[in-house]
Amino acid sequence: MSQLGDLLDDVVSEVDGAFLFSPSGSLYGRFQEADEPVVVVGTENDVDAEAFVELPLEFEDVRERIRFGIEGGLENEFIEEGDQVACALRLFADDIDTVTRVRAGDFDRSGVYGLFVDSRAEPEVIRNVLEVAIELGKKGQKGKRVGALFVVGDAGKVMNKSRPLSYNPFEKSHVHVGDPIVDVMLKEFSRLDGAFVISDSGKIVSAYRYLEPAAEGVDIPKGLGARHMAAGAITKDTNAVAVVLSESDGLVRAFSGGEIILELDPEEY
Amino acid sequence: MYPCQFGVRGWFQSLSTPEQNLLIAVAVLLAGLLLGSLAAFFVRRILFASGVDEAVEGTPFERTARQLGSSTVQLLAQLSGLFVFVVAALYAARTIGLVPEEALVEAVGRFLPQLFVAIFIVLIGLVVADKAELVVDERLKSIKLPEVTIVSTLLKVSILYVAALVALSQLGVATGALLILLAAYAFGVFFLGGLAFKDLLSSAAAGIYLLLSEPYAIGDEIEIDGHRGIVQEMGVFVTHIERDGEEYILPNRKVFREGAIRIRGE
């Protein structure tokens, strides 16, 4: 089947760089001699690659994964806008089984890379919050679907643009997202209304916050409710990032600067 | 039953003294072998039960032991078994008069436990030092600074040094000079370390109070030492205060030394 080989040659001919998604050490070793830039994308830099883009989570959606990798490559100037890039990644198997060709900058920059790297809060914290939201979306609270709103970063300003709905269960506690006990606590408290406020370093500052940002000029898709509206508005008004778990459609959305940056289906993780 | 036992005793008494001694020696040796393996067995069980095998997992010492087809736990168990057996062998040798000088046996008998304790201490020191290095390295892994490995190496060397010191003094070797060296080293670490970490320590002490009693929380507007702004972050060592895009990072000891003004209302 030489035709297949030709087809693959066509796909990868004259590319300006290669993106390897979570490659094994031996595979990366073979690429080290290449003239074109080789960028490794993965959750961990196992192969000690020089050009490395860290994935905050294993995006199940291949498009999201590639988008994140390319945006990270552009941001770090491993590649340039308009470069033709070959991406080698895994789709079905446990190792790399798919090669695709992308023109960097072809799709509009969604800012998904910036969401993690350029936010006030540490990337680790945003990732942990996303994981909590995904977990919550998957299991719900006692089998019932729940919604939740997490505002991450710039906590001082967020606290000044919100008011308490009830006593704050996290007062004088010093738990951080990512602590094992927190998952259970957040699940319990997500039954109640209001937003969680999380600081830059991941400390849970408060629950039950009613957000009162200036909501002018916030444009979110029709059909999304007050929770998303509040998330969009608070991220426009402050430097925070918001992660929303929708009660109606069960999706997790991340907001930054008043816009939806990332949309994930918890069921896929 | 009785005649049989009687028979054995009779047979034993009919033997000559050297033969009797030889028999006792063999019996003692066999008992030593049995007790030794029993001791090894129990030591191994105890070590396994207390999770020592998991604790030493991954240390260089354990890896070396594995390469030699053994493991730390097995080595310790075998050593204790060997100790019991050697003591038994010594007694057996004395029974048949193989070692003519009583004084030598006495001296060896007194020296042997010390030797074994010394070996044990060195072994434990090796394992603990390796483990400490591993744990500290793991902790410092997130800090991407190559020079930071000196901390774990220093810790490992210190533990080995102390273990060697204890082992040597166990053997009765003069360790005075080494002891003085240790004292100087400890003085250096604690005194100079205390001096270097003075500010950090006083900040941490103040920080713990601040975190426990929370006189101000994230989102409050406060003024510390002329810096006014909204609290963005409270840590053990520092407090972050932000105002108009400027974030002041103030050590917590400032809060105690200068006090903080909390601004309420308009």
Domain boundary among B176, B196, B216: B196
Length of chain A: 269
**For helices B102-139 and B60-67, what crossing angle results, to 10°?**
120
B92 and B223 inside one domain:
no
Q: Does residue B2 fall inside a structural domain?
A: no
| Chain A residues contacting B via beta carbons under 8 Å | 154-160, 171-172, 174, 197, 199-201, 203, 205
> Which amino acid belongs to residue B213?
S
Q: How much of chain A is helix, strand and coil, in % rounded to 5?
A: 30, 25, 45
For residue A157, give the nearest of B214, B230, B234 by CB distance: B230
Q: What is the pLDDT of residues A17-73, one digit of tens each?
A: 888 888 887 888 888 777 778 888 888 777 777 888 888 777 777 888 888 888 888
pLDDT in the model for residue B250: 92
Average pLDDT per block of 10 residues along chain B, 266 residues long: 62 78 85 89 87 79 82 84 84 73 74 85 87 83 74 87 87 83 87 88 90 88 90 90 89 89 80
Cβ contact, residue pair B211, A174, below 8 Å: yes
Contact check, Cβ <8 Å, A159/B212: no
Give the model's pLDDT for residue A151.
Answer: 93
Cα→Cα distances A162→A238, B67, B83, B244, Å: 12, 62, 72, 19
Shared-domain flag, residues B88 and B216: no
Q: Are A243 and A152 in contact (CB under 8 A)?
A: yes
Given a contact cutoff of 8 angstroms between Cβ atoms, the answer to whether B234 and B224 are in contact is no
Same domain, B79 and B169: yes
> Which tokens sit at A237?
């008004």
Domain count for chain B, please give it: 2
Q: Are residues B183 and B230 in the same domain?
A: no
Answer whether residue B186 is part of any domain.
yes
Taking Cα atoms as reference points, which of A138, A116, A126 lies closest to residue A190? A138
Find which of A10-14, A27-31, A193-197, B10-14 is predicted with most confidence, using mean pLDDT.
A193-197
**Reduced to 3 states, what is the DSSP secondary structure of residue A42?**
strand
Residue B10 maps to a domain: no
Question: CA-to-CA distance for A47 and B147, rounded, in angstroms?
Answer: 21
Are residues B248 and B127 part of one domain? no
Domains for chain A: give ranges and CATH numbers: 2-113 (3.40.1380.20), 119-268 (3.40.1700.10)
Using the CB atoms, write b or e for A46-56: b if 16+ within 10 Å. Answer: ebebebbbbbb
Structure tokens given for A18: 């290669």
Using the structure block, give the residue that is written with the tokens 């710039």: A154
Yes or no, beta carbons of B233 and A157 under 8 Å apart? no
Q: Mean pLDDT over all residues of chain A?
A: 84
Q: Confirm if A235 and A197 have CB atoms less than 8 A apart.
A: no
Output the pLDDT for position B251.
92
Q: Tell which phi-psi region holds residue B69, choosing left (phi > 0), alpha (psi between -120 and 50) or beta.
A: left
d(CA A106, CA B241): 41
- The arithmetic mean of pLDDT across residues A132-148, rounded, is 81
CB contact (8 A) between residue B218 and residue A203: yes
What pLDDT was estimated at residue B1?
Answer: 46
Q: Which domain holds residue B66?
A: 15-196
Strand partners, A39: A19
d(Cα A36, Cα B202) in Å, to the nearest integer?
Answer: 53
Residues B73 and B170 in one domain: yes
Q: What angle do CA A205, A207, A213 make, to 5 degrees?
A: 85
Q: B35-53 as b/e, with b when 16 or more CB fall inside 10 Å?
A: ebeebbeebbeebeeeebb
Residue B9 belongs to a domain: no
Q: Which of B232, B242, B244 to mutate to test the interface with A (most CBs of A within 10 A)?
A: B232
Identify from A124, A167, A174 which residue to disrupt to test chain B contact, counting B C-beta atoms within 10 A and taking the largest count: A174
Euclidean distance between CA atoms B81 and B116, whole angstroms: 11
Last residue of a domain, one of B196, B229, B253: B196
Same domain, B60 and B134: yes
Query: Closest approach of chain A CAs to the CA of B203, in angstroms?
Result: 18
If asked whether residues B177 and B243 sit together in one domain, one would say no
One domain, residues B142 and B235:
no
Task: Provide, as residue numbers in chain B, all residues whose Cβ is less than 8 Å from the Cβ of A124.
Answer: none
B140 and B234 assigned to the same domain: no
Quote the CA–CA distance of A53 and A65 in Å, as a whole number. 11
For residues B103 and B20, membership in a common domain is answered with yes
Residue B5 inside a domain? The answer is no
Given an 8 Å threshold on Cβ–Cβ distance, is B218 in contact with A172? no
In a domain, B26, yes or no: yes
Yes or no, beta carbons of B219 and A171 under 8 Å apart? no
- Is the model's pLDDT at A152 over the cut of 90? yes
User: Does the structure's ipTM exceed the value 0.85?
Assistant: no
Q: What is the 3-state secondary structure (H, E, C) of B12-45?
A: HHHCCHHHHHHHHHHHHHHHHHHHHHHHHHHHHH
Give the predicted TM-score (pTM) of the model: 0.68
Task: Say if residue B101 is exposed, middle or buried (CB neighbours under 10 Å; 0-12, 13-18, 19+).
Answer: exposed
Q: Which residues of B fall within a CB distance of 8 Å from A159?
A: 218-219, 230
Report the residue of chain A nearest B220, measured CA to CA.
A156
Considering the domain boundaries, does residue B234 fall inside one? yes
Check residue A174 and report its DSSP letter.
Answer: -
- Closest Cα partner for A151 from A72, A212, A69, A78? A212
Q: Based on the domain organization, do B206 and B191 belong to the same domain?
A: no
A89-115 tens-digit pLDDT: 888 877 888 888 888 877 666 777 878
- Residue where a domain terminates, one of B141, B168, B196: B196
The answer as to whether B4 is a domain residue is: no
